[in-house]
Chain A
Amino acid sequence: MKKMLAGLAVALLSLALCFSSALAEDEIVFGETALITGVFGFAGGELHEGIVDYFNYTNENGGIRGHKIKHVFEDCGYKVDCSVAAFKKIQAEYKPLFYSGDSTGFMKAINPELKATENTLMSGVSYATNLTDAATYTRSFIIGPSYSDQMAILLTHAANEQPGAKIAIVHSDSGFGNDPIKAAKVKAKELGLDLVEVITTKSGSVDVTTDVLKLRRKNPDYVLFHGYVLTPINEFMQQMRDLGLKTKFMGTYWSSSELMIMKGGPSADGYLGVMHLNYFDMEKSPGKEWDAMRAYNLKVHPDKASRPNFYMFGWFQGMVWAEAIGRTLDAGKPLTAENLRATINAIENWDTGGIASVPVTFRNNSIPVGRIFRANIAKGRYEPVSETITIN
């Protein structure tokens, strides 16, 4: 028995020693709480691969100004307590310069801890409006327009296309779904749009018949969806088309993915999505970085000829972090949270080589810029239909 226990202890110790990875001095560490499992695993897995591929691509091309990237992550399946534990573990061991959070709840919960860390900054999958409060969230930022800004961009497009148009908003009854609604009502009024209906549904609800009848009575020119990925948007669109309504449908980032084209059905044709990134599949190349990303993806994942925009999100997030570090090093400044934060705030009209669909400018912890893309079901892709829309 004793021999067995001793053997087991030796084996475990050897295993731990073999697999423990030392950190090279010039390495820059990025941390991530990944969303590979759980309810958002379908998006989180792609996002994670986007980050990993960008880091591998950068390392293969010499790293960031000669510094190799080390990426450490843990999957937490959208559970705040697990994410906090992962953050503490990674923080204790690696002290990463940047960390990707996996939910709004986590990013809010970790804020006091984050501010107490030596030098860690955080971005992540959240576009929550209150993360743009730069006074409270001094170490967090959003890699794109906040939900309120996304709604504002959609409303601005509607106002440009059809001044005084009748608008309806359909959103889920969740933190995610309710986030931009108050701001959207104010913005609609400011733009002279006629907000005729606001409908709240359960997330993923499919019985939308009564809500569709309400919309039929109001006959809006545009319906803005927020707080969903696909369902019940497809149900709304299908039933409204069946009733002969000519309404245009719009949606925010998470519902403007390729899923809408693949599973939205014929009624999704013409669906308008707000996007600060370009899509993986475009009719013509928007830039050199976009070409490089596609080539790298095909090189390391030959079986994945196409990618949803969640992958683009991961790649872009890695790019922003690397850009902030590169610019800070170029300025001869040490890599501290204050310097990195200042660098990010100073990013103005950054050309990402076609990864972002807009010139990237940071304001109040976010990129309040976007563009409208239209779903073309026949071609199986989104096409840009607006110029850059910036929200002040």
Chain B
Amino acid sequence: MRIADAVSSYSDDEAIFRTRTQRVWMGILLACLLAFPFVVSPYLLFLGCLIGIAVISATGLNILVGLTGQISLGQGAFMGVGAYTSVWLANQFALSLAVTLPLAGLLTALVGVIVGLPSLRVKGLYLAIATMAASVILHFVFVHWESVTAGNLGLNLQHAKLFGMELDSDFKLYFVIIPLALIAVTGARNLLRTRIGRAFIAVRDRDISAEVLGVNLLRYKLLSFGLSSFYAGCAGALWAYFFKVITPESFPLEVSIFYLAAIIVGGMGTILGPILGAAFMTLVPEMLKVLTLLLEPIIANAQVHLAPMKGVVFGILIVGFLLFEPHGLAEIWRKIQRFFRLWPFKT
């Protein structure tokens, strides 16, 4: 049983992994992630990649909503900007993913900063409506800027290329998506330890007090929008490389709601929350499908008859989280950790 973590310096206190146990578990997790594509079916590999993309986008949204307290319903549209940018660059100039991905992120960050401008005057529900309006405008651009987006027909994309290698399978893409997701999460974790991260939290907790303390609201709110959109842009670009086709219908408002739900279910303002939330939101519908399949021999035609119930069950699960564990899956995980830390002396 470990009863305390002794630290003797500020740098130790700020370290991401403070104990040997944490480092060992992280090593095991990395080994599992490395082994994952070699041992699972193509279906599970697909879900793994999808979760990786969702983690990047949810982590980005968490910086904006969870850390800075700026509610946004534009994450789906920002992903669309990233996706269109990367596809256009790849198709027009035959650029590699190593170039299109950061460019997609940067352009989306710029769009995010512009969309974030109203946050200086409005907040809460008003800001949500402002970002939703931006989402509608961006959707209009996706449909009508035909010379770039090909309108409703959408754009197709060839296999991604990285350092001369063609990423022509989910297996290969996995080794791009998961490391990028790890970098994204590590980046967000590091952000918390910096002045910028602390400024974000100060803005979230009480923006007027933060301003009195010298936090420039204009700068930090827009920076938060920019960072969050950068993540969304990168996630959108990866989404495009993963699915190899994008249309304006690929990024509807539901995508933004999906990510908002993911960080709420996972636990806003934490680093683990968006990861767990993204995995939960991606996996639960699939698990419900498996459940209906298992019920097929007991309930005739269960797949058909219970199909509409999947949405209801999914909704109940989310409401259940909000009611019984408002701090999300991250808090449940912390409770489990605490349990084992004290086990067997306290159960």
Is A85 in contact with B50, judged by CB distance below 8 angstroms? yes
Contact in complex: B307, A111 (CB < 8 Å): no
Once bound together, how far apart are the Cα atoms of A270 and B296, in whole Å? 45
Using CB atoms, name the residue of chain B closest to A130: B153
Q: B41 interface residue, CB < 8 Å from A?
A: yes
Let me know if B42 and A92 touch, CB within 8 A.
Answer: yes
B59 within 8 A of A: no
Whether A175 pairs with B249 at a CB distance below 8 angstroms is yes
Option from B41, B153, B289 in Cβ contact (under 8 Å) with A75: B289
A88 to B169, CA, bound (A): 12
Known: A108-B154, A179-B152. A91 touches B245 (CB 8 A): no
Docked pose: A85 CA to B244 CA in angstroms: 14
Q: Measured between alpha carbons, how far is A175 from B149 in the docked complex, in Å?
A: 12
A175 touches B154 (CB 8 A): yes
Residues of B within 8 A of A16 (CB): 294
Stretch at the interface among A76-84, A217-225, A325-333: A76-84
- Measured CB to CB, the nearest residue on chain A to B294 is A19
Indicate if the CB atoms of B297 and A18 lie closer than 8 Å. yes
A174 at interface, CB cutoff 8 A? yes
C-alpha spacing A34/B304, complex, angstroms: 9
Task: State which size class the interface on B falls in.
Answer: 20 to 34
Q: Give a binary string over A82-101; 1 marks a CB under 8 Å from any B CB, 0 the rest.
A: 10111011011000000000
Neighbouring A residues of B42 by C-beta, 8 Å: 88, 91-92
Chain A hits for B243, CB < 8 A: 80-81, 84, 109
The answer to whether A175 and B303 touch across the interface, beta carbons within 8 angstroms, is no
Q: How far is the CB of B333 from chain A (nearest CB, A)?
A: 19
A194 at the interface (CB under 8 A from B): no
Q: Does A74 contact B (CB under 8 A)?
A: yes
B-facing residues in A84-135 (Cβ within 8 Å): 84-86, 88-89, 91-92, 105, 108-109, 111-112, 130
Report whether B308 and A105 are in contact in the complex, using a CB–CB cutoff of 8 Å: no
- Of A74, A108, A175, which contacts B156 at CB under 8 A? A108
Interface string of B290-332 (1 = CB under 8 A from A): 0001101100000110011011000000000000000000000
**Which residues of chain A from 63 to 79 have a CB within 8 Å of any chain B CB?**
73-75, 77
B residues 259-312 touching A (CB-CB < 8 Å): 285-286, 289, 293-294, 296-297, 303-304, 307-308, 310-311
Q: In the complex where A36-B304, A84-B243, A108-B156 touch, is A92 in contact with B43 (Cβ < 8 A)? A: yes
Does A178 lie at the interface of the complex (its beta carbon under 8 Å from any beta carbon of B)? Answer: yes
Q: How far is the CB of B146 from chain A (nearest CB, A)?
A: 10
- Is B308 a contact of A73 with CB atoms below 8 Å? no
User: Residues of B contacting A179 with CB < 8 Å?
Assistant: 152-153
Q: Which residues of B contact A178 (CB under 8 A)?
A: 151-152
Residues of chain A in range 141-182 having any CB-CB distance to chain B below 8 Å: 173-179
B47 interface contact, C-beta 8 A: yes
Q: A85-B47, A89-B43 are known contacts. Are A108 and B247 too (CB-CB below 8 A)?
A: yes
In the complex, A374→B42 CA distance in Å? 48
Mask of A34-45 contacts with B, CB within 8 angstroms, 1/0: 101100010001
Which residues from A are CB-within-8-Å of B307?
34, 36-37, 75, 77
Q: Which partner residue on chain B sits nearest A177 by CB separation? A: B152
The answer to whether B245 and A105 have CB atoms under 8 Å apart is yes
Indicate whether A37 sits within 8 Å of B310 (C-beta atoms), given known contacts A19-B294, A178-B151: yes
Query: What residues on A are CB-neighbors of B152 within 8 Å?
Result: 174-179
A-B contact pairs, 9 of them (CB 8 A): A37-B308, A37-B311, A74-B303, A85-B46, A85-B50, A108-B247, A111-B245, A174-B249, A175-B154
Q: A75-B289, A105-B247 are in contact. List 10 more A-B contacts (CB 8 A).
A: A37-B308, A73-B303, A81-B50, A88-B46, A105-B249, A108-B154, A174-B249, A175-B248, A177-B152, A179-B152
Those 8 A-B pairs whose CB atoms lie nearest each other, nearest first: A175-B152, A89-B43, A75-B307, A36-B307, A108-B245, A109-B245, A178-B152, A88-B43
Which positions in A face B, CB cutoff 8 Å?
Answer: 15-16, 18-19, 34, 36-37, 41, 45, 48, 73-75, 77, 80-82, 84-86, 88-89, 91-92, 105, 108-109, 111-112, 130, 136, 173-179
